[in-house]
Structure 1
Amino acid sequence: MAKPSPSEAVAETSKPLSGKAIIYTGRGGYEVIKVVDRTVRAPGADEVRIRVKAAAVNPTDIVLRDPGRGDPPVTPGMDAAGVIEAVGPGVSRLHIGDEVMAAVVPLRPEGGAQAEYIVAPAASVVPIPMGVSLAEAATLPMNGMTALYALELTGLSKGQTLAVSGGAGLLAHYTIAVAKYQGLKVVADAKSEEFDLVRSYGADIVVERGPEFASTIRTKIPEGADALVDTAVLREKCFPAIRDGGVYVHVRQWQDAPSVRGIRTKLVWASEVLERTEWLLLLSDLAERDVIKLHITKEYGPEQAADAQRALLAGGLRGRPVIVFSPSKFDA
């Protein structure tokens, strides 16, 4: 995807703007996904307004629709990349015309990232990594922050062992890469044909994906992993892989998580950390150095949002679909 020209950086304005936005008109199937024109307010203190060029599609977008959260209409999307169009009072680190990536919470009054214009806290916005496109940058913020938060919740120190389920997926990729950067030993699962791929993420040990995942880890690490990040949502099936007193980190709410062998269960909720600017800057640096490899599976126009979600739900993707607000490409 081509980077915008300097002429696309619109002058700072205190007036509202109108642009396309994806919304859910209710809870349910793909029929509730619509594209509408909406008015976006000017940024307030410590905020910026971004002309969005690309917004990633994530599993959270599907959960937001079905079973559903919040009161419709809701605009989905937690991460975007684009050009700063206006800055609010108190913002000095970011400037009009900067190419940036942002992480936002869909259930806030302003809605999520899948809109042509969004207002975001400046703390949740940083320049995109050098050498990557805006579409690629849109795949990084939310999943990267989730990975960093999951690792913080484990409390592990350099040299300890982390297990990761769903090792070939995008969130697992980011978790493995950051864990290796932090000096952890990493074991992950994958299909046999994807062993080399997961090793390229930084995994020290790769085991076969399937029902024997946990027991196979125990053959490689008899004492068990110090912690496990469950990106595949295997839940109690993971527990045998974790040592007594270890940590299980889950990425979906689990009301009845069992208490077994002193294993502590912790929920990673990315919306709690989206304003940790230093983490976003770290992610940008890791992507620039190719520690984290950014990959989009396909670009979709906003009217194709349902197709993007279908592709994600079908599984097997090793990146993220991206909604691109580019009328010249998708108006045919």
Structure 2
Amino acid sequence: MRAVVIRSFGGPEVIEIADVATPEPGPGQVRIRMEAAAVNPVDLVTRGGLLAEAGLMEARDVIGLGWDVAGVIDAVGPGTAGYRPGDRVIGLSDRLDVPLGTHADQVVLDAAAVAPAPAGVTAARAATLPLNGLTALQALDFLGLPPGGTLLVTGAAGGVGGFAAELAARRSLRVVALAGPADEGLVRGLGATWFVPRTTPDLAAAVRALVPGGVDGALDAAGLGVRALPAVRNRGAFASVVGGTAPVPLRATRVAGIWINADARGLAELSALAAAGDLTLRVAETLPLDKAAHAHARLAEGGLRGRLVLVR
């Protein structure tokens, strides 16, 4: 089968489509025939060697890429309950020690990292959900803000930020969205109450003008760190979803860097919301699997609204 791999760190030119052995599911695992797999910023970071430099993964001869997958189960491992061949699913590969990622013709995942695909949703759109949706969901769970609370979402037009704004609005939170000047209509459509352009020189002052005393919490999807922290009130909460950007917890702020973990229950919740039309799944473009290097180059250029998705 085909798999997107790298054998050295560098730019998109190090990506290759390798012919590898088809993996077999072990106990408690399923094998998914990939129909679609999103390309995320973490794939670019992996390819560039930054995860290895940070000690988050061991450098090895061959590294597979890809975290998100949508497809059809074609085999189940011994003792695996709840799934059978033919089931349409979405899944998240969150382990950095396994040889292959989800950018491959077939993907083996633990059943605990898989959930039913959203009914009535194309595989390409469904593939945008696991990594970004779970990151937003888990960050909001950490923040734990009560209904009626106020939340700053930075990068609100992006993959994680967009889901965060929608999920927060569903929790009856009032969202201050930080995004590009042209994205105001988009983020308000996702549920934001207020909008602040990311070009605003004094972010904290702008947010506090809207919410006197500061917001109850912040979900920092843009990696602003210390620049966004002053917008949060004393003893508020701050969730950073960009590795290495969590600020010092000044003013008794609860601060955490959110490290994603695969969670079948959370995935199922997100899938149900997507099936009901309560989450916006955005695809910028679909490309065949063998155009993975082009997808990396295009993502690095920026300016996308929605994910690039590799398809079989």
* Alignment match, 2:80: 91
Provide the C-alpha distance between the structure 2 equivalents of 1:89 and 1:67, rounded to a whole number of angstroms. 35
1:149 match: 138
Taking a change above 3 Å as real, the CA distance of residues 146 and 58 of structure 1, as seen in their structure-2 partners, is same
Q: Which runs of 4+ in 1 moved over 4 A?
A: none
Q: Match of 1:10?
A: none
Q: Does 1:24 align with 2:6?
A: yes
Paired residue for 2:59? 71
Match among 195, 204, 211 for residue 214 of structure 1: 204
Aligned-pair CA distance for 1:85:
0.6
Give the alignment of 1:148-227 within 5 angstroms.
148-210=137-199, 211-227=201-217
Q: Distance in 2 between matches of 1:90 and 1:110?
A: 23
Deviation string, structure 1 residues 68-96 (Cα, Å, up to 9, x no partner)? 32323111111111110101122231110
Structure 1 unmatched ranges of 5 or more: 1-18, 326-332
- For 2:25, the equivalent position in structure 1 comes to 43
Cα displacement (A) at 1:106: 5.1
Unaligned runs of 5+ in 2: 53-57
**Aligned 1:80-119 pairs, distance under 5 A:** 80-105=69-94, 107-119=96-108
- Is residue 269 of structure 2 the alignment partner of residue 282 of structure 1? yes
Show the counterpart of 1:236.
226
TM-score (norm 2): 0.93
- Write the distance in 2 (CA, Å) between the matches of 1:163 and 1:255: 16
Query: How much is the aligned-residue C-alpha RMSD, in angstroms?
Result: 1.5
User: Does 1:58 pair with 2:40?
Assistant: yes
Aligned length: 304
Contact 1:77 1:106 in 2 (8 A): no
Is 1:76–1:106's contact at 8 Å kept on the other side of the alignment? Answer: no
Distance in 1 (CA, whole Å) between partners of 2:196 and 2:119 is 34
Residue pair 1:214, 1:238 contacting (<8 A) in 2 also: yes
Taking structure 1 as the reference length, the TM-score comes to 0.88
2:285 corresponds to 1:298: yes
Q: CA deviation at 1:255?
A: 7.2
Which letter does structure 2 place at the counterpart of 1:185?
R
Cα distance in 2 for residues equivalent to 1:90 and 1:256: 41
Q: CA deviation at 1:213?
A: 2.7
User: C-alpha displacement at 1:125, in angstroms?
Assistant: 1.1
Which residue of 290, 297, 301 corresponds with 1:310? 297
What is residue 55 of structure 2 aligned with on the other side?
Answer: none
Q: Secondary structure at the match of 2:81?
A: coil
